Amino acid sequence: MKPISFLLIEDDLIETLKFNRVLDTLKIKHSVNRVENGEEALEFLKNTDEVPDVILLDLNMPKMNGIEFLKILKDDRVLKYIPAIILSTSNNQKDILECYKIGIAGYLLKPLKYEDYSLKIKNLVVYWSCNEFIKV
Amino acid sequence: MSTTDLEILQRALLRERKARKAAENILEEKSRELYSITQQLKEANEKLQSGLTEKTTELQGVFDNLVDAYVLMDLGGNIIKLNEAAKELFGYDVPKEAVNVVRLIYKEDFNYAMLSFNLLIETGSFSDYIARVYTKNKGVRWVHINASIIKNSKNKPIGAQGIVKDITDQRAIEQQNNKLVQDLEKSNEELAEYAHIVSHDLKSPLRSINALVNWLREDYKSILDDAGLENMRLIEQTLEKMEHLINGILNYSSVNNIAVLKHEAVDINSIIKEIENTIFIPKHIKIIKKQNLPVINGDKTRLQQLFQNIISNAVNYIDKEIGIIQISFEDKKTHYLFEIKDNGIGIEKEYFDKIFKIFQSLGNNKNSTGIGLSIVKKIIEIYDGEIWLESVPKVGTSFFFTLKK
Amino acid sequence: MKGIVFTEFLELVEEKFGLAMVDKIITDSNLPSGGAYTAIGTYDFAEMLSLLTHLSEQTSIAIDDLLLVYGEHFFSVLARSYPQLIEKYKEPIELLSSIENHIHVEVRKIYPDAELPTFEIVEKTEQALIMIYKSSRAMSKFGLGLMYKAFAHYNANATILLDKIKVDGTEVKFSITQN
């Protein structure tokens, strides 16, 4: 089975560590590429041969914020087919609505407790590893 | 001439003389009558004259002293009369100067003016015409006009009169106020937005610390003693409290965001049911509705927040073996008066005001941030209500609040 | 009764029968006023009655005939004094039918205390008029004289029949037909 590939857009180092640590406990084959912000993500996507299966991104990022990045992503003829999932501490209704409007595959609220976080990420990875992806 | 003839003539003469005297007396009597009648007439005339002058002066006074400008024109728009205020406003001295109202209409308002004039001719009046006019000395002014047609005794329109109010300054102030309100709304929105961003920035490190503590415990399980584990538990507890606080601030700052307020029929009964499903209520505490609760027009989220904060407060502070939270209301015509009564620990009178202020938590309850009741107060203020309480320490507390229908 | 009725009457008597006749009937009548009349005064009707009675005695002319002649004379007095009152009317029938509603109204404006007869119109066409004369003075013949002269004034003439409704002549029907 082909490993599932993630692009994690996250500026916080510990958040990245958390994500990797959860994934390492799983038996699912995976690969994670991490960039720190939207600009880097676009750069990465432009130059890579391996388009990720799923993009995970934080909304509050330095330079280009998550929503701006999403808009560019969903406007792209090729990249718009990649499911994008938001990881955020904010449940601002305005932001959630805006994200779904642009087109997201999920909105995950980061819980305070690591155990809760771990459970959510596990479920997410398990769920997406069951999915079929399309490469254009 | 015979004596008889002479006598006849003498008698005739005598009669003539007598008749003349009688006639003179009558005439004199009549002249006296005439004189006195003339005098009376003269007096009556004088009275009428002065009465008329009085009335005319009175009217002139009213006309001149009208604070608003008064304009009288014929149907061709030629101004016939201006009162003092109108002369002052427009700067023309009618009738010394001939002015047609068309000359006074601001270029861009011309079509509007013509529409209004047609309305005046067709229906006999127009009101609340607001447009600009040219004046001789004051430049372009904004005016408010109410006008009506004047008809002659045969009901035929002969002219029109209007009361003109200079609203230039008033408009400027209104515009200024509107701008202020808009700015305020914008800055309120920005503030709510800002609260979201700040809370995100504050929450992220909490998550990191939590994860790190977790890992320490996981990775160094074998070498940590009980004290170390206890300290880690305390760190986690402190993080939770911090998280709670941040959420509280976030809620408080978004209550004011009127832009997102909905206006819908909200059944308070179903709100209570939802609260019972949302918050944790220990088995020994019962929520009792004294009667069926009303339906209120408002924002469901805010109303739930209001009831939920008071009820969960009550739940948190009940120290009795059997806890009772009783909800009732009274219909007060314009408002509903609610009472939420508990048999909790009660509140000392000196804290009655303090508890509604932000960050004023009285107890040392871990679920209390001191923001809940200040949010309650804010929501009640949105619905033109008031909140107060009665409490007996150790016996219980009643929160009373009103909500506009 | 208005003084002018007396002064005009005595003038007519003087004209027709001389000053001596005037002196005679005044003396015989033994009048409260002494016969010193002024047109603008007001005198008791009884004096007129007394003067007429004595004139009738002296001249052997019936009182009614005297009244008729005096009425004819009095029209000219009215026409001279109040021409505008008469000029208002184009036809004599119009003039006569307006006595009650117009002419007497005007008279009362000048002489509020005048005691006037009433003329009630029974029937009126362009050419004919039936009126009921009512007056305690019973001087319908005086009215008849006035009417004849009124027609003459318009260069017209008429047949006027008088029927006494009351024997004492206080109520008389005038049937007037213009020829």
Please give the average per-residue pLDDT across B354-383, as a whole number. 73
Contact B34, B27 (CB under 8 A): no
Chain B residues within an 8 Å CB radius of A95: 196
CA B358 – CA A133 distance, rounded (Å): 50
pLDDT at B130: 92
Q: Is B243 exposed, middle or buried (0-12, 13-18, 19+ CB in 10 A)?
A: buried
Domain that holds residue B327: 261-404
For residue A101, name the pLDDT band (cuts at 50, 70, 90): very high
Regarding whether B49 and B158 lie in a shared domain, the answer is no
Chains A and C touch (3+ CB pairs under 8 A): no
Number of domains in chain B: 4
CATH number at residue B248: 1.10.287
Contact B398, B341 (CB under 8 A): yes
Please give the average per-residue pLDDT across B164-185, as a whole number. 89
Q: Give the side-chain half-sphere CA count within 13 A for C77.
A: 17
Q: Specify if B293 maps to a domain.
A: yes
CA B327 – CA A54 distance, rounded (Å): 50
Residue B9 sits at the chain C interface (C-beta within 8 Å): yes
The answer on pLDDT for B292 being more than 80 is yes
Number of domains in chain A: 1
Q: Which of B311-320, B353-362, C98-107 has the lowest mean pLDDT?
A: B353-362
Regarding whether B249 and B182 lie in a shared domain, the answer is yes
Q: Which of A91-100, B185-194, B377-386 has the lowest mean pLDDT?
A: B185-194
pLDDT at B81: 87
Chain A residues within an 8 Å CB radius of B240: 112
pLDDT at B1: 63
Nearest to A90 among B196, B211, B239 (CB): B196
Q: Specify if A23 maps to a domain.
A: yes
Q: Name the minimum distance, in Å, from the CA of C16 to any CA of chain B.
A: 17
Please give the average per-residue pLDDT across A76-95, as a whole number. 89
Which chain C residue shows the shortest CA-CA distance from B4?
C20
Q: Specify if A134 maps to a domain.
A: no
| Helix/strand/coil (H/E/C) assignment for every residue in chain B | CCHHHHHHHHHHHHHHHHHHHHHHHHHHHHHHHHHHHHHHHHHHHHHHHHHHHHHHHHHHHHHHHCCCEEEEEECCCEEEEECHHHHHHHCCCCCCCCCEHHHHECHHHHHHHHHHHHHHHHHCEEEEEEEEEECCCCCEEEEEEEEEEEECCCCCEEEEEEEEEECHHHHHHHHHHHHHHHHHHHHHHHHHHHHHHHHHHHHHHHHHHHHHHHHHHHHCCCCCCHHHHHHHHHHHHHHHHHHHHHHHHHHHHHHCCHHHCCCEEEEHHHHHHHHHHHCCCCCCEEEEECCCCCEEEECHHHHHHHHHHHHHHHHHCCCCCCEEEEEEEEEECCEEEEEEEECCCCCCHHHCCHHHCCCCCCCCCCCCCCCHHHHHHHHHHHCCCCEEEEEECCCEEEEEEEEEC
pLDDT at B368: 59
Q: Specify if B283 maps to a domain.
A: yes
Q: Cβ of B33: how many Cβ atoms within 10 Å?
A: 10
pLDDT at B365: 53
CA distances from B77 to B74, B100, B114, B141, B157 (A): 5, 5, 11, 19, 13
Largest CA distance in chain C: 48
Regarding whether C96 and C34 lie in a shared domain, the answer is no
Chain B residues at the A interface, defined by Cβ less than 8 Å, are: 196-197, 199-201, 203-204, 206-208, 210-215, 236, 239-240, 243, 260
Contact flag A90-B239 (C-beta cutoff 8 Å): no
Alpha-carbon torsion (C14, C17, C18, C19), positive or negative: negative
pLDDT at B280: 86
Q: Specify if B64 maps to a domain.
A: no
Q: Name the minimum distance, in Å, from the CA of B361 to any CA of chain A.
A: 23
- Write the pLDDT tens digit of every residue in C140-170: 999 999 999 999 999 998 999 999 999 998 9
Share of chain B above pLDDT 70, in %: 95
Q: Specify if C165 maps to a domain.
A: yes
Nearest to B18 among C7, C23, C36 (CB): C36
Nearest to B15 among C35, C40, C41 (CB): C35
pLDDT at B392: 92
Give chain B's mean pLDDT.
Answer: 86
Contact flag B214-A88 (C-beta cutoff 8 Å): no
Picking from C38, C40, C51, C111 by the largest number of B CB atoms within 10 A of its own CB, the best residue to mutate is: C38
Regarding whether C40 and C101 lie in a shared domain, the answer is no
CATH number at residue B98: 3.30.450.20
Give the orientation angle of helix A114-129 with respect to helix B168-219, to 10 degrees. Answer: 90
The answer on pLDDT for B362 being more than 70 is no
Regarding whether B397 and B273 lie in a shared domain, the answer is yes
Q: Specify if B109 maps to a domain.
A: yes
Domain that holds residue C158: 92-178
CATH number at residue C172: 3.90.1520.10
Q: Specify if C147 maps to a domain.
A: yes
| pTM of the full structure | 0.46
Helix or strand run (H / E) with residue C168 = none
The answer on pLDDT for B358 being more than 90 is no
Regarding whether B81 and B26 lie in a shared domain, the answer is no
Task: Name the residue among C108, C42, C110 with its Cα closest to residue B23.
Answer: C42
Contact A115, A18 (CB under 8 A): no
Regarding whether C110 and C41 lie in a shared domain, the answer is no
Regarding whether C46 and C97 lie in a shared domain, the answer is no
pLDDT at B402: 94
Q: What is the per-residue burial (b if ≥16 Cβ within 10 Å, else e) of B350-385?
A: eeeeebbebeebeeeeebbbbbbbbbbbbbbebbeb
Please give the average per-residue pLDDT across B184-204, as a whole number. 79
Contact B12, C14 (CB under 8 A): no
Q: What is the DSSP annotation of C55-94?
A: HHHHHT--HHHHHHHHHHHHHHHHHHH-HHHHHT-SSHHH
Q: Specify if B161 maps to a domain.
A: yes
Number of domains in chain C: 2
The answer on pLDDT for B188 being more than 80 is no
Which one-letter DSSP state was computed for residue A80? G
Q: Specify if C146 maps to a domain.
A: yes
For residue B363, name the pLDDT band (cuts at 50, 70, 90): low
Contact B115, B85 (CB under 8 A): no
Q: Specify if C128 maps to a domain.
A: yes
Q: Specify if C144 maps to a domain.
A: yes
For residue A63, name the pLDDT band (cuts at 50, 70, 90): low
- Write the pLDDT tens digit of every residue in B217-226: 999 989 989 9
Please give the average per-residue pLDDT across B24-49, as a whole number. 87
Q: Specify if A136 maps to a domain.
A: no
Regarding whether B50 and B6 lie in a shared domain, the answer is yes
Q: Specify if B400 maps to a domain.
A: yes
Share of chain B above pLDDT 90, in %: 32
CATH number at residue A109: 3.40.50.2300
The answer on pLDDT for B330 being more than 90 is yes
Contact B288, B341 (CB under 8 A): no
Domain that holds residue A87: 4-129
Regarding whether B196 and B152 lie in a shared domain, the answer is no
Q: Specify if C77 maps to a domain.
A: no
Q: Specify if C67 maps to a domain.
A: no
**Among B166, B193, B225, residue at a domain's last position:** B166
- Strands (E) in chain C, as ranges, are 118-124, 128-134, 158-164, 171-178
Task: Name the residue among B358, B382, B384, B352 with its Cα closest to residue B372.
Answer: B358
- Write the pLDDT tens digit of every residue in C34-72: 889 998 888 898 999 999 999 999 999 999 999 999 999
Q: Specify if C66 maps to a domain.
A: no
Regarding whether C174 and C104 lie in a shared domain, the answer is yes
Residue B181 sits at the chain C interface (C-beta within 8 Å): no
Which chain C residue shows the shortest CA-CA distance from B17?
C36
Chain B residues within an 8 Å CB radius of A21: 215
pLDDT at B367: 54
Picking from B2, B6, B15, B28 by the largest number of C CB atoms within 10 A of its own CB, the best residue to mutate is: B15
Contact B276, B287 (CB under 8 A): yes
Contact flag A60-B201 (C-beta cutoff 8 Å): yes
The answer on pLDDT for B364 being more than 60 is no
Contact flag B22-C41 (C-beta cutoff 8 Å): yes
Contact flag B22-C27 (C-beta cutoff 8 Å): no
pLDDT at A44: 93
